[in-house]
Structures are given as C-alpha cells and as structure tokens.
Amino acid sequence: MGDRGTGRTQRDSKTGKKHKRQPNQHPNDDNNNNNNSSNEDPDDPNWDLQGRPYRVKISPIMGRYLVAATDVAAGDLILREDALVAGPCQNAKPVCLGCLKPFDGENYIRCMGCQWPMCSPACPGLQDAKGLTGHTDEECAALSAAGPSGRRVMNLQARTPLYNVIVPLRILLLEKQDPVRWKAVQRMQSHDEVRRKIASVWQANQLGVVDRIRGEFGLQHFSEEEIHSVCGILEVNAFEVGDGLRGLYDRAFLLAHDCTPNTSHADDETRALAVRASVDIPKGSLITLSYAYTIQGTLKRREHLKESKFFDCCCPRCSDPTELGTMCSALVCPRCGRPAVLPVDPLKADSPWRCSAGLADATPWPAVKQAVKQAALPAAPCPGYEMPAAQARELIDKLTDEAEAIDPNDVAGLEAFVAKYSPRLHPNHYHLLGAKHSLSQVYGKVHGYLIHQLPDDLLERKLNICKDILRVFDILEPGVSRLRGITLYELHAPIMILTTRHFEARSISRKDLRLRLREVAACLEQAAHILSFEPECSSEGAMGRAAQEALQRVRQWQ
Ligand SMILES: C[S@@+](CC[C@H](N)C(=O)[O-])C[C@H]1O[C@@H](n2cnc3c(N)ncnc32)[C@H](O)[C@@H]1O
C-alpha cells in the first residue's frame, strides 16, 4: 500500500513538474487527494454508500477504486455481498449447474430439458435458482435451443472446456432475466480494445465461448461483440470462489490491486463474499487486494497481471528490486556467492539482473533499507556480476516447471527441490518459499509423516520452516491473512510436541516449559483470531476452531 511509498516524487505528465505524493498514496493513484472528493466516481449514485467504510474514487490509470472513508481496523468487515452471478471456472471439472458442487461418484441425474448433469432432482439450485447462480428455466431453454447440449458432458470426473460457456451465458441471460444485475455487470471493464489485439486470448474465447453459444447452441441473437465483452468482464473482474468456481460481485470488483494487499477475502457456501481489512487502513488510503499470487516473484506477478488483467503493476513491491526487503526473487551471485542478484529495474521485463551488494544505500524505501541491513549483506561490493534478462527468465521458467511438477504432498520431492536450489537462490526466494510452504503443511499430515510419528529432527524441521516462511509472510501478506493464520497453526504443533517430549525426558526445566507453552499459546491465539474470519464450512474455518480448542487446553496446562 501507499504508506510504504511516502516521500517519493513523480513527474506530472502534463506540467512536467514534480509533485510529492500524499501520505498513503498508491503509485498508480494519480488523482488521489485525501481531503477532497473531486475525483469521486460520478457513477456513485448507483452505489448506496451511506454508512459504508469506503468511497469510490477514480483515476486515469486505475479507473475506479475504493478508499477508506474512515479509519478501518485490521479484521474489520469492509463489505459483504452476494454474487451477481456465479458458476464454473474455465476448464473446470463438471459440477451440478444447480448447486455448483462437484459430483460424488455415479450419483447424478440429467436435467429433463438440457440434459446437463445435476446432483439430484431435489437440488436447491434447481428448485430455487436464488441469486441466479442456479440452473434457471431460461438457462435450460438456452442450453437446449439447438438440442440438449448437456449430452456432450460424459465423464463427470474429467476437466472439460464445455463448462466454459456457463457463466458467460448466465451473464448474457441477465439482460432479460434481471436488468438490475445486468446493469451492474455492464459497469465492469472488459478491456476489449487490448484483448482484441492478443490473438491467443481472443481466439480462445472465439472458439470456446462465442462459437459455441452462437453456433452449437444456435443463440444467434447474442452478437459476437457482446459475448467477447462478457468474456472480458469475467477475465478482468471475476473472483475465484468455492472449489473451481468464479463469481462477479457488485462492489468487490472495484478493489484495486496491490502485490502487498491490505485486505483478505473469503466466500461461503452460498458464494457470498466478505472482504476484511487485514491491517489497519487509515482514512483516505486505497483499499486493495492482490489479483496475483503473493508468493511469486515480481517478474511472474507482473507478467500475470499484464496478461490477465491488462495493466502494468507499479506498486511499491513491484517497484522495489528487493521486494520490500524480502529478497524473494534474489539469486545467488556466481562471483561473490551472496544471494543478491536482482533485476536492476524490476518495472522493465528486459532489465538486466545484477549483484546488488551495497543496495541498502541505493534503495529509496526506508523499510527496505532497514530490512536489507537486517539481512546483513556484507558491505563489500561484489566484483561485479550481471545476468541478461533472458538468462534470468530462462532460469525462472525452469524453476517454475520443476516446482510445478512436484506433487505438493511429496515430502521427499519437495525436500529434494529445496536441497537442489538452496545453493543457487536466496533462502527467501519464492520458489523455496513455495516448497517450504507445502512442507510446512505436509510434515505432520501425510502418510509416513503424521505429526506424533515425526522424530525430533523432523519436528525441528517443520518448526524452522514455519518460522522462516512466517517472517516473509509478515511482510508480503501481513496481519489478518489466511497464509499467516494457517502457518501459525502449523507452527504450534511441533513446538508443543517437542516441549512435551523434552519435559518428559527432563531435558527442559519447568521455567522453560512455561516459556514454550507461552509461545504455543501466542501462535494459537493469533491463528484462532485470523481463522475465525473464515467461513465455518471451510477447512480453514475448522482449523480456526481447532486452534481455539487447543488454546483452551494449553491455557489449562499453563
Ligand atoms: C477488477 S477491475 C477494478 C475496477 C476498475 N478499476 C474499474 O474502474 O472498473 C481491474 C482493473 O482495474 C485496473 N487496476 C486495478 N488495480 C490497478 C493497479 N494497481 N494499477 C493499475 N491499474 C489497476 C486495471 O485496469 C484492471 O484491469
């Protein structure tokens, strides 16, 4: 968020003069002025903002975005809303078009009209297509206009592009079914002009959605243009929800992106979405979420944002080669052996990478200066090492392919990856973080590594991994974030078991026991608090309850 970027200046493109950023101003928030409302969205009357903790503003770069209308505290609910429309993601496994749940074995029926598979005749999404996220009569008619198209869905366990049409069709049908929702969806950006020029994107939609709706289903009254636009609206604005689903939301789509977001969000079984502040958000500051995976390096995040959201991210994290001091893209220098090879200009994909000894003096970000100092990179400059952008990209792509090929439950495979690349990457490199993140969860959970069977050295390993990754998550997804909640829960278990074992073996004193139980309680307390915001029905919600119960037990022992 902008509060990391204070003090930077930026050239005004019209006057050529330099102006100082307002405190809490985002680098892309060109128009922001915390004290006036001149850049408030003229579309505002469409949104009832009375009593809401946010305002809608507008800037030439970001379009509309939300700012805090008041000081918002970490954990506070910013908005909660039902989906305007929801359905399967691209290339999803078949789901029931009524309740959107995957099929369980052979238990299914076919809709009498369109023949698409459904979970049962009593499916609530068939009886009452409330929220238009279920299978309505209009949808059934559209899917059977040129014959019952659902017959093509044969294997209920295999991913299929057939479901790619469902959400676009649901949106198109809104125009007649529910003009209010239709208007709400039409307020969203589709970036048609940009997308049209990207042949792969346009062509995939043409074949997978447009031709199917107009050709196979015979729904010629929907023009090619409007179907492409709906595809764009989905690509730019949809949230991934549930298990392999996507949904559009009337307000949440307005949240601007930041690679270190200040909110987290969760959806429940009804696909209602809740957005909460993950850290304190001062009045006037941008309210943000991340459209990209936060445990990814700048090169890949920016690439994803450009290719799927069609903008160049210039957030404080992207602008800083050290990624806020985390060094999570840094490579080991083959000349001086220090993990300090970073892109010279991370905002340019063709920037060379250079060994950054002495970077602490060069970086404009005070927080980064401090973090780099804490990382204690020796002051002596590297004799000089530079890597062309293409070589850095090649290495990152190779790492990505290797990391993606590992089964996230394969302890040996993950450890082999960490051992192979630790000599070449900074310990916080995002590929090592990703592998360690998986290890933090599978140690204690998978066959052969169940928590009470783990020997002390593997419990220590789990403990150290959790602490290592938490230090980075504290910077990249601070506060009330799911990533931190889960990791804190994972951390309590090895500390607890090691403490019990050591106390029983009389290798620690009562005083040490008390200290360690205090550490366990602190982890559980934070985990229970963070995960209490997760929906009850989710695995994270269950983990939150388990943390609360474990906390009570630890308090009794204390
Ligand atoms: C989900 S929409 C957000 C609402 C959008 N601003 C609007 O007015 O409809 C995503 C789009 O907003 C813009 N956007 C969001 N965050 C941005 C950022 N940090 N920098 C630049 N553009 C951003 C991009 O155009 C992106 O494709």
Can you give the three-state secondary structure of 380-432, one letter per residue? CCCCCCEECHHHHHHHHHHHHHHHHCCCCCCHHHHHHHHHHHCCCECCCCHHH
CB-CB contact of 270 with 56 (8 Å): no
Instruction: Choose which residue among 65, 67, 186, 294 to substitute to test ligand 1 binding: the one with the highest number of ligand atoms within 8 A of its C-beta.
Output: 65
CA contacts within 13 A on the Cβ side of 140: 17
Measured at the alpha carbon of residue 201, what is the angle toward residues 233 and 260, in degrees to the nearest 5? 60
Is any atom of ligand 1 closer than 6 Å to the C-beta of 65? Answer: yes
**Per-residue CA distances from 270 to 116, 137, 535 (Å):** 21, 20, 10
Q: One digit per residue, pLDDT tens: the chain, 558 residues?
A: 222 222 222 222 222 233 333 334 444 444 443 333 446 655 554 556 667 899 999 999 999 999 999 999 999 999 999 999 999 999 999 999 999 999 987 789 999 999 999 999 889 888 655 554 689 999 999 999 999 999 999 999 999 999 999 999 999 999 999 999 999 999 999 999 999 999 999 999 999 999 999 999 999 999 999 999 999 999 999 999 998 999 999 999 999 999 999 999 999 988 999 999 999 999 999 999 999 999 999 999 999 999 999 999 999 999 999 999 999 999 999 999 989 999 999 999 999 999 986 555 555 555 555 655 665 555 677 888 999 999 999 999 999 999 999 999 999 999 999 999 999 999 999 999 999 999 999 999 999 999 999 999 999 999 999 999 999 999 999 999 999 999 999 999 999 999 999 999 999 999 999 999 999 999 999 999 999 999 998 999 999 999 999 999 999 887
Residue 148: partners with Cβ closer than 8 Å, 6 or more residues away: 113, 114, 115
Nearest to 65 by CA among 291, 306, 318: 291
Contacts from 205-211 at CB under 8 Å and sequence distance 24+?
A: 205/231, 208/90, 208/161, 208/164, 208/165, 209/164, 209/165, 209/168
Token pair, residue 552, equals 């009570």
Confidence (pLDDT) at 553: 95
Nearest to 290 by CA among 265, 261, 254, 319: 261
Position 5, amino acid:
G
Residue 330: partners with Cβ closer than 8 Å, 6 or more residues away: 322, 339, 340, 341, 342, 356, 425, 426, 428, 429
Nearest to 230 by CA among 264, 192, 193: 192
Cα 204 from Cα 221, distance rounded (Å): 21
**Per-residue CA distances from 265 to 122, 223, 533 (Å):** 31, 35, 9
pTM: 0.88
Nearest to 392 by CA among 317, 337, 332: 332
- In this structure, which residue's CA is closest to atom 10 in ligand 1? 236
Cα 318 from Cα 371, distance rounded (Å): 16
Confidence (pLDDT) at 368: 53
- Report ipTM (2 d.p.): 0.99
Helix, strand, coil tally for the chain in percent (to 5): 45, 15, 45
**Per-residue CA distances from 186 to 23, 172, 189, 226, 443 (Å):** 34, 10, 8, 10, 47
CATH 1.25.40 domain extents, the chain: 390-556
Is any atom of ligand 1 closer than 6 Å to the C-beta of 63? Answer: yes
Instruction: Please give the number of the atom of ligand 1 that sits closest to the Cα of 310.
Output: 27
Return phi, psi of residue 68, to 5°.
Answer: -75, 130
Is any atom of ligand 1 closer than 6 Å to the C-beta of 217? Answer: no
The Å distance, Cα 219 to ligand 1 centre, comes to 32
Cα 427 from Cα 81, distance rounded (Å): 40
Instruction: Please give the number of the atom of ligand 1 that sits closest to the Cα of 58.
Output: 8
Confidence (pLDDT) at 31: 41
Is any atom of ligand 1 closer than 6 Å to the C-beta of 319? Answer: no
Position 550, amino acid:
A
The CATH number of domain 390-556, selected from 1.25.40, 3.30.70, 1.10.10, 3.40.50: 1.25.40
Position 301, amino acid:
R
Q: Which fold has domain 54-81+253-289?
A: Beta-clip-like (2.170.270)
Instruction: Choose which residue among 30, 257, 259, 305 to substitute to test ligand 1 binding: the one with the highest number of ligand atoms within 8 A of its C-beta.
Output: 257
Cα 69 from Cα 151, distance rounded (Å): 51
Beta strands at 288-289 and 256-257: parallel, antiparallel or unpaired = parallel
Cα 97 from Cα 153, distance rounded (Å): 12
Q: How close are the terminal C-alpha atoms of the chain, in Å?
A: 39
Cα 368 from Cα 45, distance rounded (Å): 41
Q: Burial level of 19, CB count in 10 A (0-12/13-18/19+)?
A: exposed
Helix (H) or strand (E) holding 192: helix 192-196
Cα 89 from Cα 33, distance rounded (Å): 38
Is any atom of ligand 1 closer than 6 Å to the C-beta of 253? Answer: yes
Cα 458 from Cα 33, distance rounded (Å): 53
Confidence (pLDDT) at 374: 63
Is any atom of ligand 1 closer than 6 Å to the C-beta of 313? Answer: yes
Confidence (pLDDT) at 128: 56
Q: Where are the alpha helices (DSSP H) in 242-336?
A: 298-304, 316-319
CATH 2.170.270.10 domain extents, the chain: 54-81+253-289
Helix (H) or strand (E) holding 551: helix 539-557
CB-CB contact of 431 with 327 (8 Å): no
Cα 322 from Cα 364, distance rounded (Å): 11
**Per-residue CA distances from 131 to 126, 202, 238 (Å):** 12, 29, 16
Instruction: Choose which residue among 190, 311, 347 to substitute to test ligand 1 binding: the one with the highest number of ligand atoms within 8 A of its C-beta.
Output: 311
Confidence (pLDDT) at 6: 23
Confidence (pLDDT) at 9: 23
Give the relative orientation of helices 482-504 and 430-442 as an angle to the nearest 10 degrees.
50
Is any atom of ligand 1 closer than 6 Å to the C-beta of 256? Answer: yes
**Per-residue CA distances from 456 to 409, 448, 497, 523 (Å):** 20, 14, 9, 20
Cα 492 from Cα 10, distance rounded (Å): 45
DSSP 312-328: ----HHHH-TTTTTT-T
- Which residues share a beta bridge with 386? 354
CB-CB contact of 427 with 436 (8 Å): no
